[in-house]
């Protein structure tokens, strides 16, 4: 499975980067989500894969051995939530930029103060 | 408010001019006190007892805050503080009613401190910092009249040229320091044989000499010095005659034990010095502005010293050091006197003033005394300097005839220039000058130049005193041996005397031909190549490159910024991969059916997101990707993560759908080959990296700690939960705060739009 996850992470990053470079706000957000997912996948796989053994200590026991690596899981859990926060904020920005600037093309959003655009 | 304005200004002016009487003399008093302080070391230093001060600075790198007051440093310190006292006094009168006096004096003081530090430093880094200090303060002082475009231009020109030279010097000092293994200048000078034998010697020499030549205005960098005459007269007298421009000469003298004596040294310093000397003294004849003329003769004086140091040996070093003192006295005196002429008569152009001797007798006397020293007349100090110059050029082991001829020509031109400044403004029939009643200025203005001009005469009359106090310790410090012979006014008939007489004759002829030479040079000037135009061309080219780079790099296109960012990221990863030592992993390649299923779901979803023109389809497929990843988490034992992933994925789809409704349709994503290539390179880099990471070992000590301690210490059985809420509880709280802030920010962004819409419409 390792090789599959490596391939998937590569696909996700490539597709995400490609969408982000498209210059449209909605595909950009799609790309951002994909790259977030790829990052989580990479962290998860870096902790090594263990099939079907969640890091849960049985009732009465003091510790376990041979379970999935708990550390990357804890990291990803927060990463997913933070990624979601970022996405929500980016969505709000995308909506607002369309509302104010009247465009979803990012290459047209090149003036720091709208109304004084410098063409390039 | 408006009515109160003028009165306030009036009150402030009165207060300022009243208060000015007290504080404006402070810098001069401080400098005079410093001169006396340094004077106490004259006795010990002349007996070879050299004071040192060392404070540790960056001991790890062998850098210390070290000072060493040998003969050379002491002479410079005395000159800087002594002339400084006179110049500060002069400036306080020159800018008496000027509100900028305080700022001028602060800059001058900062400069004086830098200059004393530079000349007394015994550590290369300490020296460099003070060296840069003089560059920066010089920039401020040249650009003192910053309202004038000409001043700003001259200031920037001087800053760029001396600043660039300073960088070269810094590199040279670092190379030399690493070669010798010490940044102490005294130790570098002891390791002269090692440095000269090293293959790095040409590099060190070139870099250090670039610093010296730019600072001391040698060809082809000489043009900034006449330009720097945009500075006020006291500044020019201080920086551009007696002190700062001598920093380059000082450094060549300082490094004489370490760097001199090679063919490279002689073949660079002597020709450049001789050429600059002739060039500058010829162009001095072209000027009618006396200050500008003095600037060119300063370049001539500096190149004379460069040439003499290039010749090397105790004779030439003695000549260079003596001439350095001669030049400092008469040149600072003349610069200040020209300021007196300008204050008194309203002009410093010799074609506009004449016959001032009757109206300004004191000024005329001072100028005459200084000019006689400059002309090298008996019994002035300048004569002794000139005799020593001929003594050493005649014995130069490098083309003595040519060098001597160049020195005679330059000295003769100098003689003519002395006539220009001493005779033209003061004699002949008086004519209407810009000021109705020309008169001598007040005591604060004449005191300094009078002392300096008198020194030129006194040093000539009592040469043995100067020899003991200044010249002999300087020669000892530079040449490493005592003064050959003694300074004397009269050596009896000999080659130097005949050469002096020849100089006077030639100089007299040149003075008579002054107007013809001036006219000829003025006519030829536009046709001649000027190194300043190289500088201008270089600066224009630099501007062009900068503009093109900005247009290329800063083009305002988000997509091209992203493209470059991803490309740079891919490059960094690939470099790490190719340069790294990681090898290909050797884990099992077996693929289960369920793996195939997940892989297919996610890959298919990715393709759909990329290809679809329908936004709803895209969002759904995005959900598919997230769900596929959630399944991976489930089967590999990350149940909590999978639950969160699924929950967030649902929210993402909902939010995206809400946004979709409010954003316009833009169709699918068109295929851009360049973007695809960039994305592909990055994607492959990520896959390869992950495979390599998985092939290497993993340190599981942290995981083991959590597995062993979750139940006994934190009393929890879900290790992931325990990590989040207990072991790393603070971290989780911070992340919760981030989410809250993101939510508030998103809300603010959305609401701001509504309010404006309501208010605006």
Burial of B67 per CB tally in 10 Å (0-12, 13-18, 19+): buried
Please spell the DSSP secondary structure of B131-189, one letter per residue. Answer: HHHHHHHHHHHHTTSTTSHHHHHHHHHHHHHHHHHHHHHHHHHHHHHHHHT--BHHHHH
Give A82→chain B minimum CA distance, Å: 6
Q: Which chain B residue lies closest to A23 (C-alpha atoms)?
A: B559
Q: How far apart are CA B448 and CA B454, in angstroms?
A: 10
Contacts by B34-37, CB closer than 8 A, 24 or more apart: B34/B77, B34/B81, B34/B84, B34/B116, B35/B78, B35/B81, B35/B82, B35/B84, B35/B85
Query: Do residue B686 and residue A10 have CB atoms under 8 angstroms apart?
Result: yes
**Tens-place pLDDT, residues A30-66:** 999 999 999 999 999 998 888 888 888 888 888 788 8
Q: How far apart are CA B708 and CA B723, in angstroms?
A: 12
User: Which residues of chain A make contact with B623, given a CB cutoff of 8 A?
Assistant: none
What is the model's pLDDT at position B586?
63
Q: Is residue A16, in this structure, part of any structural domain at all?
A: yes
Q: Is residue A101, in this structure, part of any structural domain at all?
A: yes
Give chain B's mean pLDDT: 88
What angle separates helix B361-375 from helix B381-394, to the nearest 10 degrees?
Answer: 20
**Tens-place pLDDT, residues B615-651:** 889 999 999 999 999 999 999 989 889 999 999 999 9
User: Which residues of chain A make contact with B603, given a CB cutoff of 8 A?
Assistant: 8, 11
Under 8 Å between Cβ of A50 and A66: yes
Q: Which chain A residue lies closest to B551 (C-alpha atoms)?
A: A120
What is the model's pLDDT at position B119?
94
Give B576→chain A minimum CA distance, Å: 17
Of A41, A82, A106, the CB nearest to B558: A106
Give B581→chain A minimum CA distance, Å: 18
What is the model's pLDDT at position B378?
85
Query: Do residue B669 and residue A40 have CB atoms under 8 angstroms apart?
Result: no
CA distance readout (Å), B161 to B271, B411, B737: 21, 28, 53
Query: Do residue A82 and residue B735 have CB atoms under 8 angstroms apart?
Result: yes
CA distance readout (Å), B623 to B423, B602, B642: 96, 10, 14
User: Which residues of chain B make contact with A102, given a CB cutoff of 8 A?
Assistant: none
How far, in whole angstroms, is CA B212 from its chain's centroid?
Answer: 13
Burial of B638 per CB tally in 10 Å (0-12, 13-18, 19+): buried
Of B558, B655, B720, the CB nearest to A88: B655
Query: Do residue A63 and residue B710 have CB atoms under 8 angstroms apart?
Result: yes
Of A61, A78, A95, the CB nearest to B663: A95
Low-confidence ranges of chain B (pLDDT < 70): 1-21, 582, 584-590, 753-761
Q: How far apart are CA A15 and CA A35, in angstroms?
A: 8
Q: Which chain B residue lies closest to A36 (C-alpha atoms)?
A: B626
Under 8 Å between Cβ of B84 and B58: no
Of A2, A53, A58, the CB nearest to B637: A53
What is the model's pLDDT at position B754?
61
Give A115→chain B minimum CA distance, Å: 15
Query: Do residue B676 and residue A47 have CB atoms under 8 angstroms apart?
Result: no
Q: How far apart are CA A112 and CA A80, in angstroms?
A: 31
Helices (H), B185-312: 185-190, 192-197, 201-215, 224-227, 233-237, 246-254, 256-259, 263-286, 290-311
Characterize the bridge pairing of strands B63-68 and B52-58. antiparallel
Query: Do residue A110 and residue B675 have CB atoms under 8 angstroms apart?
Result: no
What is the model's pLDDT at position B532?
84
3-state per-residue secondary structure call for B620-673: HHHHHHHHHHHHHHHHCCCHHHHHHHHHHHHHHHHHHHHHHHHCCCCCCCCCCH
What is the model's pLDDT at position B319?
92
Work out how many CB contacts closer than 8 A connect A with B: 295
Query: Do residue A19 and residue B609 have CB atoms under 8 angstroms apart?
Result: yes
CATH at residue A86: 1.10.287.3510
Phi, psi (degrees; rounded to nearest 5) at B65: -90, 80
Query: Do residue B637 and residue A57 have CB atoms under 8 angstroms apart?
Result: no
Q: Is residue A56, in this structure, part of any structural domain at all?
A: no
Q: Is residue A57, in this structure, part of any structural domain at all?
A: no
Of A81, A92, A98, the CB nearest to B746: A92
For A29, the domain range is 2-51+67-108
Q: Is residue A29, in this structure, part of any structural domain at all?
A: yes
Q: Is residue A100, in this structure, part of any structural domain at all?
A: yes
Give chain A's mean pLDDT: 86
Mutate to test the interface with B, among A24, A27, A79, A91 (most CBs of B within 10 A): A91
Place of tokens 């002339």: B83
Of A94, A109, A110, the CB nearest to B663: A94
| Nearest residue to B360 via CA among B283, B457, B425, B431 | B425
User: Which residues of chain B make contact with A78, given a CB cutoff of 8 A?
Assistant: 724, 731-732, 735
ipTM of the complex: 0.92
Give B617→chain A minimum CA distance, Å: 12
Three-state DSSP state, B20: helix
What is the model's pLDDT at position B588?
60
Query: Do residue A48 and residue B694 have CB atoms under 8 angstroms apart?
Result: yes
What is the model's pLDDT at position A63?
79
Domains identified in chain A, total number: 1
Burial of B589 per CB tally in 10 Å (0-12, 13-18, 19+): exposed
């Amino acid at each position: 499975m390792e090789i599959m996850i490596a391939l998937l992470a590569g696909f996700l990053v490539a597709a995400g980067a490609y969408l982000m470079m498209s210059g449209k706000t909605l595909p950009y957000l799609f790309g951002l989500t994909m790259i977030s997912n790829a990052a989580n996948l990479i962290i998860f796989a870096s902790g090594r894969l263990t099939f079907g053994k969640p890091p849960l200590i049985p009732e009465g026991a003091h510790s376990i051995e041979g379970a999935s690596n708990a550390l990357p899981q804890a990291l990803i859990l927060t990463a997913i939530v933070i990624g979601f926060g970022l996405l929500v904020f980016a969505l709000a920005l995308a909506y607002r930029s369309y509302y104010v600037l009247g465009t979803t093309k990012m290459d047209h959003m090149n003036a720091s103060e709208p109304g004084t655009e410098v063409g390039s | 408010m408006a009515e109160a304005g003028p009165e306030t200004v009036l009150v402030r002016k009165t207060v300022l001019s009243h208060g000015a009487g007290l504080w404006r003399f402070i810098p001069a008093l401080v400098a005079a006190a410093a001169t006396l302080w340094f004077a106490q070391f004259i006795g010990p230093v002349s007996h070879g007892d050299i004071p040192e001060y060392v404070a540790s600075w960056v001991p790890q790198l062998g850098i210390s805050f070290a000072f060493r007051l040998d003969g050379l440093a002491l002479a410079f310190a005395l000159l800087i503080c002594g002339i400084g006292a006179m110049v500060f006094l002069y400036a306080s009168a020159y800018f008496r009613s000027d509100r900028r006096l305080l700022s001028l004096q602060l800059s001058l003081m900062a400069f004086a401190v830098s200059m004393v530090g530079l000349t007394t430093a015994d550590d290369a880094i300490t020296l460099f910092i003070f060296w840069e200090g003089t560059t920066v303060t010089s920039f401020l002082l040249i650009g003192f009249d910053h309202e004038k475009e000409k001043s700003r231009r001259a200031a920037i020109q001087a800053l760029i040229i001396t600043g660039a030279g300073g960088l070269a010097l810094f590199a040279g000092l670092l190379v030399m320091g690493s070669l010798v293994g010490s940044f102490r200048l005294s130790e570098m000078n002891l390791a002269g044989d090692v440095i000269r034998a090293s293959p790095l010697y040409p590099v060190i020499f070139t870099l250090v000499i670039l610093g010296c030549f730019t600072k001391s205005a040698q060809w082809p960098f000489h043009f900034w010095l006449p330009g720097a005459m945009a500075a006020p007269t006291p500044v020019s007298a201080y920086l551009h005659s007696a002190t700062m421009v001598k920093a380059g000469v000082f450094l060549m003298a300082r490094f004489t034990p370490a760097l001199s004596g090679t063919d490279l040294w002689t073949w660079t310093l002597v020709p450049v010095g001789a050429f600059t000397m002739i060039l500058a003294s010829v162009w001095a004849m072209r000027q009618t502005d006396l200050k500008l003329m003095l600037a060119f003769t300063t370049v001539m004086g500096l190149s004379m010293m460069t040439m003499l140091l290039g010749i090397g040996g105790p004779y030439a070093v003695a000549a260079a050091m003596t001439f350095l003192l001669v030049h400092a006295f008469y040149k600072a005196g003349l610069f200040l006197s020209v300021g007196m002429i300008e204050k008194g008569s309203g002009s410093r152009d010799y074609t506009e003033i004449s016959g001032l001797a009757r109206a300004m007798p004191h000024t005329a006397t001072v100028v005459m005394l200084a000019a006689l020293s400059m002309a090298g007349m008996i019994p002035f100090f300048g004569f002794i300097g000139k005799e020593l110059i001929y003594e050493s050029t005649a014995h130069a082991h490098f083309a003595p005839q040519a060098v001597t001829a160049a020195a005679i020509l330059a000295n003769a031109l100098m003689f003519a220039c002395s006539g220009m400044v001493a005779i033209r403004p003061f004699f002949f029939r008086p004519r209407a000058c810009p000021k109705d009643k020309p008169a001598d200025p007040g005591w604060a203005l004449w005191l300094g130049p009078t002392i300096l001009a008198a020194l030129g005469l006194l040093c000539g009359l009592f040469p043995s005193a100067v020899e003991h106090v200044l010249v002999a310790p300087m020669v000892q410090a530079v040449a490493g041996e005592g003064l050959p012979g003694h300074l004397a006014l009269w050596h009896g008939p000999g080659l130097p005397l005949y050469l002096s007489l020849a100089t006077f004759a030639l100089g007299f002829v040149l003075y008579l031909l002054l107007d013809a030479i001036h006219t000829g040079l003025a006519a030829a000037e536009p046709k001649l190549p000027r190194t300043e135009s190289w500088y201008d061309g270089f600066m224009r080219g630099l501007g062009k490159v900068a503009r093109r780079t900005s247009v290329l790099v800063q083009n305002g296109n988000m997509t091209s910024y992203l493209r470059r960012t991803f490309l740079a990221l891919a490059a960094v990863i690939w470099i790490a991969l190719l340069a790294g030592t990681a090898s290909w992993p050797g884990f099992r390649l077996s693929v289960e059916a369920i793996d195939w299923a997940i892989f297919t779901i996610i890959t298919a979803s990715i393709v759909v997101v990329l290809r679809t023109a329908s936004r709803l389809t895209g969002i759904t497929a995005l959900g598919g990707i997230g769900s596929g990843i959630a399944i991976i988490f489930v089967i590999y034992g990350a149940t909590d993560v999978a639950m969160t992933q699924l929950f967030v994925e649902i929210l993402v789809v909902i939010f995206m759908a809400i946004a979709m409704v409010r954003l316009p349709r833009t169709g699918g994503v068109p295929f851009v080959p360049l973007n695809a290539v960039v994305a592909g390179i990055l994607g492959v880099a990520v896959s390869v990296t992950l495979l390599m990471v998985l092939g290497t070992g993993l340190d599981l000590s942290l995981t083991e700690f959590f597995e062993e301690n979750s139940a006994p210490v934190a009393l929890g059985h879900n290790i992931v939960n325990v990590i989040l809420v207990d072991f790393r509880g603070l971290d989780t709280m911070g992340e919760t705060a981030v989410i809250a802030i993101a939510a508030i920010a998103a809300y603010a962004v959305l609401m701001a739009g509504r309010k404006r819409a309501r208010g605006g419409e």
